[in-house]
Chains A and B, each alone.
Chain A
Amino acid sequence: MKDKRPVYLNLFKIRLPVAGMVSLAHRASGILLFIAIPFAVYLLDLSVISSDGFAEVMTILQHPLVLLVEVMLVWALAHHFFAGIRFLLIDADIGVEKTQAKYGAWLVVLASVIIVALFICELVR
Chain B
Amino acid sequence: MSVYVLEGLRPWVIQRVSGVYIALFTVYLIYCGVSAEQTGFELWRAWLFDPVNSVGVGLFIIAVLFHAWIGIRDVILDYIHNIMLRIFILALVLGVLAGSGLWAFRILAFRILLLSVVN
A20 — which chain B residues lie within 8 A by C-beta?
Answer: none
> A77 vs B27: C-alpha distance in the bound complex, in angstroms?
11
Please determine whether A88 and B19 come into contact, CB atoms closer than 8 angstroms.
yes
List the 8 shortest-distance A-B pairs measured between CB atoms, nearest first.
A54-B41, A51-B41, A30-B71, A34-B68, A41-B100, A37-B100, A48-B111, A38-B100
Of listed B16, B40, B107, B112, residue having the most chain A CB within 10 A: B107
Interface residues on A, range: 20 to 34
A35: nearest chain-B partner, CB-CB: B96
Please determine whether A47 and B44 come into contact, CB atoms closer than 8 angstroms.
yes
Within 8 Å of chain B (Cβ to Cβ): is A71?
no
Contact with A along B14-36 (1 / 0, CB 8 A): 00100110010010000000000
> CB within 8 Å of A: which residues of B?
16, 19-20, 23, 26, 40-42, 44-45, 48, 64, 68, 71-72, 75, 93, 96-97, 99-100, 103-104, 107, 111-112
Could you list 6 examples of A-B contacts with CB < 8 Å?
Answer: A34-B96, A38-B99, A38-B103, A54-B41, A81-B26, A88-B16
B64 — which chain A residues lie within 8 A by C-beta?
Answer: 37
Main secondary structure of the interface of A (DSSP, over half): helix
State which of A37, A77, A84, A85 has its C-beta within 8 Å of the C-beta of B68.
A37
Please determine whether A37 and B97 come into contact, CB atoms closer than 8 angstroms.
yes
> CB within 8 Å of B: which residues of A?
27, 30-31, 33-34, 37-38, 41, 44-45, 47-51, 54-55, 77, 81, 84-85, 88, 91
B111 — which chain A residues lie within 8 A by C-beta?
Answer: 45, 48-49
Please determine whether A33 and B68 come into contact, CB atoms closer than 8 angstroms.
yes
Please determine whether B41 and A44 come into contact, CB atoms closer than 8 angstroms.
no
Please determine whether B48 and A48 come into contact, CB atoms closer than 8 angstroms.
yes
> A91 vs B17: C-alpha distance in the bound complex, in angstroms?
13
A88 — which chain B residues lie within 8 A by C-beta?
Answer: 16, 19-20
Please determine whether A30 and B72 come into contact, CB atoms closer than 8 angstroms.
yes
Please determine whether B16 and A91 come into contact, CB atoms closer than 8 angstroms.
yes
Please determine whether B107 and A41 come into contact, CB atoms closer than 8 angstroms.
yes
Shortest distance from the beta carbon of A83 to any chain B beta carbon, whole Å: 11
Please determine whether B96 and A30 come into contact, CB atoms closer than 8 angstroms.
no
Shortest distance from the beta carbon of B114 to any chain A beta carbon, whole Å: 12
Of listed A27, A34, A51, A88, residue having the most chain B CB within 10 A: A34
B107 — which chain A residues lie within 8 A by C-beta?
Answer: 41, 44-45, 48
